Structure 1
């Protein structure tokens, strides 16, 4: 049992930085109070655990039954900040609720829409996400926009030091410790910052030990068309990301991923997003870093992921742990964000490396979509003459660039049959798939597992 607990803790540590950084960035950017930010971080950790268990628990309606861990999607950071600052935080959660319902309703059909998201689109979208988030990282790197000591040598030094620690861990650490390089960098950077009096532990002292989730903590949700469409787009991009994780895990566990499996997986994500909206958490996607951990450890038992999910729920019920993350100086967080968002860009480029760039149409899709994504981020006032209700789209580089990639691909490359790249990702579906009972959970021989 101790071994299983240790393996479950590994998964928690591998995804914890991502689970915490997303609400931190959003909370700082939309002006949440310390109490509100503590709640957002805690509830987000808890709901990551709930979402993970929903996905691992395979039944007739939902759950893919693979050792997958769900966490907050970085895709949602820019759009949520934009919606909250343009409309209200209530509009954010109204849009999240509707997008979750949308995912549940389209789950049956989304696997048939994968041809609308070939590598030229998904690679462009992921690259745009990374590029447009770099200014957020640099603002934190300098100490936080609007701070009295913005861009001070102390802040810049801490940011660089955190980044250096992350690089040193990646260079010299092996296996598990290399996989949590970001978390190590943040912890060590915060410890060093404490010697300069830059760590405030008062939020930890003021936070309670235990709390329960509150329905609509941030107020009654509001429903506006543009925020809803924006979050639906975010949800669809997240599904594409998760699809890649599903196939990777299917390969690792020697499980054939069929259309019925994807349908249940998408439904589980939709239900998780709706629950997140209900308790004012954030949208989720499958975390690829945990796939790497499964590959490294060779441990594929679902029980380990259930344990990780329960650990996340328990951690989320203890506000003091969530409040502890508020002690992280913004410059330390900024150093880690540069590494994380830079890796997003690199991963997007890696996805684009599979694209046939001898086709000029593909070049134009990538070129124009990234140009709009980066351009709108650098010059957000360029479309001010358009109706104000469109500002969430026109002022968000992620949304603008993503929509441009999807639309241009439809115009330039659309064809009724999936292209060769997509065919390679598809799977055979038998006529009886719709009526097929769910397969039993993955059975891994315990003796073999113990030997590993």
Structure 2
């Protein structure tokens, strides 16, 4: 009898371990999907800045690998919520793309040390004003937040199409049938996995699309293993790798403005995730979220990488997979930190062809835009003022994205701010919402639908 009882106990224990292992394996796969979704965007920033500042191969290797490590650490700061920092949402952080142009200008006109001094100062500034900025959450009602999220998605879609065509619009192969075929195959696989897949297959639809697209591209000679062969086996973060920071006032002010832009964009992302998860985002949540990003920016400056911000494409991934837990993102953070320390393994993710990444981006950025549209569904568009705020803000945001050269005669600092469609749309939505105050107007009377005991619906006009 005792033997039978012991056998049953061992069987239950083994079953429990098997279930836990399967659950963790699924979470790890979802984490890998998050990593692949943001990897190209995270790597792009150091490649652009390092190339513009003429870094050598050794410096570029350090820059890319440590940037990936810091992306994982920055993500971890947001996940590990406590009384001081961390919003505790399934967010993934990477290099802020809007910082590329100003950092290149600072590095070229001053020095690399000045560039990192400005990043450190901006991070400290954001940490100090996080509480004040969080009190401005009343400036982001569903009308404003919905506009910002919609514009974030729509303004990123041109980047997706640039990758879909091959990544370089000046290349002869840009938009070739092979590039388009591989890219749209990736889109088709993601759609098929979502529509006809079940359970876990549906949740990793983007990962399946990336794998199928990459294997197909490899069959046509579009995948090169050269980055893997050239990468070193191990790197470790070193503070002030490129030299000590130098603090110059105009550079600091420029990076503070860019950081404020990132805070506005992150605010929209936080609210979008809160909407997906049915979790109200409080002033305290925002404050801790801003502080986590500020710490990430400051550490980026100390370890000679770049500013970090919440990545919008991963919001689309949360919506697409339906998995709202933080556990997969913990795995993503761990993978990023590991890949950052092991450049040769991390380089494996860089072999995914641009058209394949572009195909996945089309789906994910579209999902971000649709999340914004869904948030706008809460807005009363019978009110013409709401329509006016949305129409003007979305129009300005998309117009600047398509024609950024319209501000070419303005000072460089103004161009950096005004040529960003997300910034223009955000400022427009906030200012017009404050000036017109449509949410304070009396809502039009509507018939309310009530359900009687007999389950019959009856239209009732509101009382005067």
Structure-2-length-normalised TM-score? 0.75
Per-residue Cα deviation, 1:57-103 (whole angstroms, up to 9, x for no partner): 45443345x4x4431369x43x2344356554858755654443233
- Which residue number in structure 1 is paired with residue 413 of structure 2? 389
- Which residue number in structure 1 is paired with residue 160 of structure 2? 137
- Which residue number in structure 2 is paired with residue 232 of structure 1? 260
Give how far 1:36 is off.
Answer: 6.4
Give how far 1:146 is off.
Answer: 2.2
CA distance in 1, matches of 2:183, 2:317: 26
Aligned length, in residue pairs: 408
CA distance in 1, matches of 2:386, 2:268: 19
Is the 1:104–1:270 Cα contact (8 Å) retained in structure 2?
Answer: yes
Give how far 1:331 is off.
Answer: 1.7
Give how far 1:3 is off.
Answer: 5.3
- Which residue number in structure 2 is paired with residue 447 of structure 1? none
Question: Are positions 1:353 and 2:383 aligned together?
Answer: no
Question: Are positions 1:188 and 2:212 aligned together?
Answer: yes
CA distance in 2, matches of 1:95, 1:344: 31
- Which residue number in structure 1 is paired with residue 310 of structure 2? 285
- Which residue number in structure 2 is paired with residue 6 of structure 1? 25
Give how far 1:318 is off.
Answer: 1.2
Is the 2:71–2:308 Cα contact (8 Å) retained in structure 1?
Answer: no
Give how far 1:373 is off.
Answer: 1.5
Give how far 1:311 is off.
Answer: 4.2
Question: Are positions 1:22 and 2:41 aligned together?
Answer: yes
- The equivalences for 1:49-64 within 5 A come to 49-64=72-87
Q: 2:128 aligns with which of 90, 99, 105?
A: 105
Give how far 1:193 is off.
Answer: 1.0
- Which residue number in structure 2 is paired with residue 167 of structure 1? 191
- Which structure would you say has the larger RCO, counting Cα contacts within 8 Å and 6 or more residues apart? 1
Per-residue Cα deviation, 1:335-355 (whole angstroms, up to 9, x for no partner): 222222222222221222212
- Which residue number in structure 2 is paired with residue 448 of structure 1? none
Larger Rg: 2
- Which residue number in structure 2 is paired with residue 72 of structure 1? 93
Unaligned runs of 5+ in 1: 421-452
Residues 2/308 of structure 1: CA separation in 2 closer, same or farther (3 Å cut) = farther
CA distance in 2, matches of 1:84, 1:270: 17
User: Cα RMSD over matched residues?
Assistant: 3.7
Residues 276/46 of structure 1: CA separation in 2 closer, same or farther (3 Å cut) = same
Structure-1-length-normalised TM-score? 0.76
CA distance in 2, matches of 1:197, 1:169: 25
SS in 1 for 2:92: strand
CA distance in 1, matches of 2:169, 2:433: 37
- The equivalences for 1:274-423 within 5 A come to 274-279=298-303, 280-285=305-310, 288=315, 296=323, 309-413=333-437
- Which residue number in structure 2 is paired with residue 199 of structure 1? 223
Is the 1:102–1:232 Cα contact (8 Å) retained in structure 2?
Answer: no
Is the 1:141–1:334 Cα contact (8 Å) retained in structure 2?
Answer: yes
Residues 369/25 of structure 1: CA separation in 2 closer, same or farther (3 Å cut) = farther
Residues 215/250 of structure 1: CA separation in 2 closer, same or farther (3 Å cut) = farther
Is the 1:377–1:395 Cα contact (8 Å) retained in structure 2?
Answer: yes
Give how far 1:271 is off.
Answer: 1.5
- Which residue number in structure 1 is paired with residue 450 of structure 2? none
Give how far 1:419 is off.
Answer: 12
Give how far 1:262 is off.
Answer: 5.0
Residues 21/195 of structure 1: CA separation in 2 closer, same or farther (3 Å cut) = same
